[in-house]
């Protein structure tokens, strides 16, 4: 099941299968979709996050990917709200310190933006690097977290 929602950062497409969110991504326009309680919950929690009122998400997720990608995505979930780390940091975290390029590729394939916080990964030089939603969205999300780090 899939539905589309207007948010502060654009139109989100949220997909659900078997009681878990499998994809969240930006799309150009709202299309006709279907809504169930899980899709609605995901939208509400993401809206709360975008309003600076939520740090963590409570709904089930089940991203589709390779075992390596899932290992990287699980490591992304450990990056605390309001902080950043590098691809190399993630590679070290998954006990594969030379795999930072592969980590970057897995990060780029993250199907559940915001919830699996790939926006918190930056270049080792401290610069913002690639983001599926665009660097302007990545910058907005990081600023949102910095601005609300203490208040939630």
Question: 11-24: per-residue pLDDT in tens?
Answer: 999 999 999 999 99
**From the CB of residue 98, how many other CB atoms can be counted at a distance below 10 Å?**
9
* Dist CA 38 CA 57 (whole Å): 12
The per-residue pLDDT for 44 is: 98
* Dist CA 65 CA 32 (whole Å): 27
Active site residues: 118
* Dist CA 94 CA 89 (whole Å): 9
pTM of the model: 0.92
Percent of the chain scoring above 90 in pLDDT: 86
Residue 137 CA, distance from chain mean position: 11
| Cα→Cα distances 3→100, 115, 118, Å | 34, 17, 22
The per-residue pLDDT for 132 is: 72
Percent of the chain scoring above 70 in pLDDT: 99
Nearest CA to 50 out of 138, 145, 120, 132 is that of: 145
Only one residue has tokens 């990060």, namely 107
Mean pLDDT across the chain:
94
């Amino acid at each position: 099941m899939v539905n589309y929602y207007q948010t502060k950062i654009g139109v989100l497409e949220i997909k659900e299968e078997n009681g878990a969110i499998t994809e969240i991504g930006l799309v150009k326009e709202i299309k006709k979709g279907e809504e169930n309680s899980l899709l609605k919950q995901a939208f509400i929690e993401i809206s709360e996050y975008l309003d600076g009122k939520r740090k963590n998400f409570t709904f089930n997720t089940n991203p589709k990917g390779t075992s390596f990608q899932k290992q990287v995505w699980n490591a992304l979930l450990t990056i605390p709200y309001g902080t950043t780390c590098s691809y190399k940091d993630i590679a070290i975290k998954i006990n594969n310190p030379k795999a930072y390029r592969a980590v970057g590729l897995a990060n780029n394939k993250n199907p559940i933006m915001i919830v699996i916080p790939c926006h918190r990964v930056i270049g080792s030089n401290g610069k913002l690097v690639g983001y599926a939603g665009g660097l302007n969205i990545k910058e907005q999300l990081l600023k949102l977290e910095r601005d609300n780090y203490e208040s939630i």
